[in-house]
Amino acid sequence: MAYALQQLINGLTLGAMYGLIAIGYTMVYGIIGMINFAHGDIFMVSAFIAVTAFTILAAADVTSIPLALTFVLIVSIFFTSAYGWAVERTAYRPLRGSTRLAPLISAIGMSIFLQNSVQLTQGARVKPIPPVLEGGIVLWDAPGFTVQIGWSQMLIIVTTVILMTAFTWMITQTPFGRQQRACEQDRTMASLLGVNVDRTISFTFMLGAALAAVAGVMVTVYYGVVDFFIGFLAGIKAFTAAVLGGIGSLPGAMLGGLLIGLIESFWAAYLWAEYKDVATFGILCLVLMLRPSGLLGRPEVEKV
Amino acid sequence: MNTPATLLSVRNLTMRFGGLTAIDDLSLEVPAGRITGIIGPNGAGKTTLFNCLTGFYKPTTGTLRLAHPRRGEMRLEALPSHRVARDAQVVRTFQNIRLFPKMTVLENLIVAQHNVLQRASKFSIAGLFTLPGYREAERQAIERAAMWLARLKLTHLADNAAGDLPYGIQRRIEIARALCVDPVLLCLDEPAAGLNPRESAELNELLLYLCGELGIAILLIEHDMSVVMNVSDHIGVISYGRKIAEGTPAQVKHDPQVIKAYLGEDEEEDVKGGAAA
């Protein structure tokens, strides 16, 4: 029981991070109908930016943890959004209006480019940072097993909840959110009503990158190490989460993320830890076969 | 009645798609504050004309000059489509309705006013913190939407998802949404299609009100002759991308060229199919 509770906490932490990344996939799919395969690498870049920012702070002798985290978050969000913008501008916008396959291939190219450029500039070795948030609260001191929620886990879960609330509000209530939804439903018509579609798409990419940046900072704080390849697996798992929740659906991405995180934790705890990735991708296959529109997605209706 | 000033002047407009000429050297004047009807057989290039006007297609050659009452002369063919709506205030509706189906009726109307809102929100920053200036702009946007909803008898449907409503009502919403852009030129692509006689009589009344009371110039593509003939001040007839006649409804009705185009000559049937699609 205590063990299960611990897995629940671990799973939620993991799931929150997948959810944050999955939103970037789902939003971009919603608005331009393509899978941005470079999104996982945007996340990886953000983790490196976080490492750099932490290193700078350490050099500057900043010891206040809240201050350091705020600084790192802001820096990482800022630069990662710039990456998101640049990727869309250079790799996807010139291909808009061509076949569906073209931007997809461009995305894969962009993914390889980001991975290799980080490998070249930052080195192929794992980069550690000194532990930022250690310890936690003991929730339950059961015989033989102690259930503990780490400060970093709490940080991740609380930040994710706040971000999701803010994000949902932004999409449903603000002029930008309305534009975003309008472009998602009918880009041509939105443009004919005066919505600047290109700018809305750019902003969507930046927003997705910003959420991935938060996930990147959290991963850095949680695991304490990054390398140039983390974007690949995290990206594919977040993509699975987006598909499981129903691609194009924002609450779906969050739900999918949580489910994937939980399944992975429990699978690793009770079955075979070394096969946890198999579980995730098994789910991807099952969802695609049995319910391609995902849990919260609506099936595409062919319009005649 | 004195002659009104020209609002839109189409000069030598040609639109080719590969080897297909959808519009061929078309010239047309649209007067301010009047209803101009555009009629012609299927595939004559009427919808293509609208697509050129709203920046959806770039014309192969020719000019589209808009004498904007407040902002001076504008060249529509050089503007990207979002600026045609935002700066030139030219807006269109579609033959097959294009509402945002998952948004409410009210939201559909507010999207059309988003430029005002976005300026007030300083690109989302003031909007994010709901500052007073933004709240005021939002209140005005809702008021304007409510005004058009009331005028088009849609108030009770404001919170329904637009895609779930019946066809005739969706048509009215589309017109209401276009009106929220505060157009100087309203382009309606077959607004009476699919309407029953009572609804199309209401549409006539609405068009006359918009034009007569509010001074909005209307460019109207329509197949329903009871609408076109009753409301238009002036009609242009297009066939195979060329203007074949122009004049008052009475003149056009008796023009031999027009009668020929409509009743057809034997071999011309299948030459120019998809130009308007």
Residues A128-150 pLDDT 10s:
887 777 777 777 777 777 778 88
* Structural domain total, chain A: 1
The two tokens of residue A75 are: 């820096």
If we measure between CA atoms, which residue out of A189, B184, B146 comes closest to residue A181? A189
Q: At what angle do helices A230-245 and A2-32 cross, to 10 degrees?
A: 80
Among B83, B91, B121, beta carbon nearest to A175:
B121
Asked whether the predicted pLDDT for residue A205 surpasses 60, the reply is yes
pLDDT score of B181: 84
Closest residue, chain B, to A303 (C-alpha): B96
Contact A179 B115 (CB under 8 A): no
The pTM of the full predicted model, rounded to 2 decimals, is 0.79
Domain assignment present for A100: yes
Asked if residue A131 belongs to a domain, the reply is yes
Report which of A166, A167, A203, A209 is spatially closest to residue A77, judged by C-alpha positions: A209
Any domain includes A297: no
Q: Which residues of B touch A178 (CB under 8 A)?
A: 103, 107, 110-111, 114
Note whether B124 and B60 are within 8 A (CB).
no
Shortest distance, CA A203 to any CA of chain B (angstroms): 11
C-alpha torsion sign, points A117, A123, A124, A125: negative
Whether residue A112 lies inside any domain: the answer is yes
CB A262 within 8 A of CB A15: yes
Contact B103 A190 (CB under 8 A): no
Domain presence at residue A93: yes
Q: Give tens-digit pLDDT for A242-289.
A: 888 888 788 888 889 988 988 888 888 888 878 888 888 888 888 888
Asked if A97 has any chain B CB less than 8 Å from its own CB, the reply is no
Considering only CB atoms, A195 lies closest to which of B114, B127, B178, namely B114
Helices and strands (DSSP H and E) totals, chain A:
11, 4
CB burial of residue A37 (10 Å; 0-12, 13-18, 19+): buried
Note whether A190 contacts B81, CB cutoff 8 Å: no
| Interface check A181 vs B, CB under 8 A | yes
Q: Is residue A72 part of a domain?
A: yes
Q: Do A179 and B111 touch (CB under 8 A)?
A: yes
Q: How many residues would you count in chain A?
A: 304
> Quick one: residue B159, left, alpha or beta (phi over 0 = left, psi -120 to 50 = alpha)?
alpha
Taking the CA atoms of chain B, what radius of gyration do you get in angstroms?
19
Say what percent of chain A tops pLDDT 90: 14
Q: Are strands B185-189 and B90-92 parallel, antiparallel or unpaired?
A: parallel
Q: How far is A178 from chain B (nearest CA, A)?
A: 6
Give me the DSSP letters along B75-107. EGGGS-HHHHHHTS-EEE--SS----TTSBHHH
Give the number of other Cβ atoms within 10 Å of residue B207's Cβ: 24
Query: Which token pair is A274?
Result: 């070394």
The predicted pLDDT at position B275 comes to: 43
User: Is A90 within the bounds of a domain?
Assistant: yes
Q: Which of A170, A178, A197 sits opposite B82 (nearest CB)?
A: A197
Residue A190 has pLDDT above 50, yes or no: yes
Q: Which of B277, B276, B254 is nearest to B46 (CA)?
A: B276
Residue A64 lies in a domain: yes
Q: Provide the pLDDT for residue A301.
A: 56
Note the helical H segments in B183-240: 197-212, 225-231
Give the whole-angstrom CA distance, residue B277 versus residue B273.
9
Q: What is the mean pLDDT of residues A146-160?
A: 84
For residue B161, give the DSSP letter.
B
β-bridge mates for residue B239, sequence order:
B242
What is the C-alpha to C-alpha distance for residues A105 and A202, in angstroms, rounded to an integer?
19
Interface predicted TM-score (ipTM) over 0.85: no
Chain-centroid distance of CA A44 in Å reads 10
Please classify residue A44 by burial: count the beta carbons closer than 10 Å to its beta carbon, then call 0-12 exposed, 13-18 middle and 19+ buried. buried
8 Å CB contact between A145 and A2: yes
Task: Please give the Cα distance from A233 to A223 (Å, whole number).
Answer: 15
A163, B95 contact by CB (below 8 A)? no
Per-residue model confidence (pLDDT) at position B272 = 46
Residue type, B219: L
A298 touches chain B (CB under 8 A): no
**Do the chains contact at B110 and A178, CB–CB below 8 Å?**
yes
Q: What is the DSSP string of A76-127?
A: HHHHHHHHHHHHIIIIIGGGTTS-SHHHHHHHHHHHHHHHHHHHHHH-SSPE
Q: With cut-offs at 50, 70 and 90, classify the pLDDT of residue A41.
A: very high
Query: Containing domain of residue A126, as a range?
Result: 19-231
3-state secondary structure of A163: helix
CB contact under 8 A, A170 and B128: yes
Measured between CB atoms, which of B98, B124, B181 is closest to A186?
B98
Please list every residue in chain B whose beta carbon sits closer than 8 Å to the beta carbon of residue A194: 82-83, 85-86, 112, 114-115, 181
Task: Answer yes or no: is pLDDT of A297 > 80.
Answer: no
| Cα–Cα distance for residue pair A123/A139, rounded to 1 Å | 40
The single residue listed with the structure tokens 């995730």 is: A280
pLDDT tens digit at each of 277 positions of chain B:
456 688 888 888 888 888 888 888 888 888 888 888 888 887 778 888 888 888 888 888 888 888 888 888 888 778 888 888 888 888 888 888 888 888 888 888 888 887 666 666 655 555 555 566 677 777 888 888 888 888 888 888 888 888 888 888 888 888 888 888 888 888 888 888 888 888 888 888 888 888 888 888 888 888 877 788 888 888 888 888 888 888 888 788 788 887 777 766 554 444 444 444 4
Instruction: Give the pLDDT of residue A302.
Output: 52
Q: What is the mean pLDDT of residues A154-169?
A: 87
B104 touches chain A (CB under 8 A): no
Q: Which residues of A touch B103 (CB under 8 A)?
A: 178, 181-182, 185
Chain A residue closest to B116 (CA)?
Answer: A175
Characterise B217 by phi-psi region: left (phi > 0), alpha (psi -120 to 50), beta (else): beta
Please, are residues B97 and B174 in contact by the beta-carbon 8 Å criterion?
yes
The H or E element that residue A187 is part of is helix A187-192
d(CA B175, CA B210): 11
